[in-house]
Chains A and B, each alone.
Chain A
């Protein structure tokens, strides 16, 4: 399993950072920056959300949950694609780190999906009068959560890590091919079965400050996701490489905090 005897790839070549050993310290150096970006962007975004953005004409103050709801929904879909991308890279180039990235992204993606559903329910109660409707977007978001949970469940069930990586990759790729089909079929199902009783797009013009708030919050959640994923991938690297020499050296030198 150890790669010590293999010749190291050229420094700063395409695959230089594809080794867990070289990526581990890099991720450690990047995490504080992304945490700082998250904090700054969150502060700006929340300031816009609470003090700058005007009160909505029809929904009052309750609409302000949009600043959490929409960014998490965007991230939930974006992260699935990123996860499938790293899974595919891991499958094609047989790079362990790519598969570790995919495994590290899944919990954050599931969290974002869950938050999008949860905030959607809280938003739906005052505006639609119900926590849940079988709306196309809500239903497909719920199915996305099931896809994330399936990926996590599959990887958790396989003890052999390399097999878990590859099996998860196949599942993520099958999922990513299916997501558009699922999305459109759910949309069609909804419009044909119950008619558009609830429309999420009924406010045609959105105040520009609202849009800015949403964009800044989306960036904040993006930076948070990167920080969380990097932190988790470091943990995964340590867990899997605990018998490697370089981890033991780090441990011996007390540089592992």
Chain B
């Protein structure tokens, strides 16, 4: 059972390693979006410090959504996806592997990059740590929920915009508790509850979304 997950992850990572530009573009997009905010709002340090968690989280949401198109589209185009649907291995496990690989090449780099933003926006040591922790727990949820949207819009015209319309409202809880954790840490309140809830969302998503994605894939490819 674990074998198929590991094999899918390795395959997708190998593919990502051969198309480095795709992976780097997502990260670059994340950096550029966050950089635009001080330019629009002004360089007032206190204001920027207050909005930094929300800005970083919203940018992470957008970057995750932009990268969703890559999740199934290439496999769909070259027929690999149909082979996966026909395979004797359980489809939810394959989906879980693909979502994990997607997170490893998008969510994880974003999380590491957010350390830099913690410094740039003059967040304290603890706040930066909480920001990283919240992204570490929350960004896999973005990949998993996003996979449902990506599977539903597979092969549709204007799929990219449509995916974001479908998926963004579902990202609301993750955004609230992700940015909320950092806000709580900044105002000296306990942030444990936020991180625990993010962890709960992660478990919830790991258990449920692969089934929804599998169903959506079978609908889209049939």
Can you list 30 A-B contacts with CB-CB less than 8 angstroms, sorted by A residue number?
A147-B169, A149-B165, A153-B162, A153-B165, A153-B166, A154-B152, A154-B162, A154-B166, A157-B158, A166-B219, A167-B216, A167-B220, A170-B148, A170-B216, A171-B148, A171-B166, A173-B212, A174-B170, A174-B212, A175-B169, A177-B208, A182-B169, A182-B170, A182-B172, A182-B173, A185-B172, A185-B173, A185-B176, A186-B172, A193-B183
In angstroms, how far is the closest chain B Cβ from the Cβ of A249? 32
Q: A192 at interface (Cβ–Cβ under 8 A)?
A: yes
B177 within 8 A of A: yes
- Complex: how many Å from CA A225 to CA B105? 47
Which residues of A pack against B, CB within 8 Å?
A: 143, 146-147, 149-150, 153-154, 157-158, 163, 166-167, 170-171, 173-175, 177-178, 181-182, 185-186, 188-189, 192-193
Min Cβ gap A125→B in Å is 26
The residues of B that contact A173 with a CB separation of less than 8 Å are: 212
Q: How far is the CA of A178 from the CA of B209 in the complex (A)?
A: 12
Are B152's CB and A170's CB within 8 A?
Answer: yes
B residues within 8 A CB of A147? 169
Residues of B in contact with A (beta carbons under 8 Å apart): 148, 152-153, 156-159, 162, 165-166, 168-170, 172-173, 176-177, 180, 183-184, 197, 201, 208, 212, 215-216, 219-220, 222
Total A-B pairs in contact (CB under 8 Å)?
71
Cβ-neighbour of A157 out of B156, B172, B183, B216 (below 8 A): B156
Interface of A is mostly: helix
Residues of B near A170 (CB, < 8 A) are 148, 152, 212, 215-216, 219
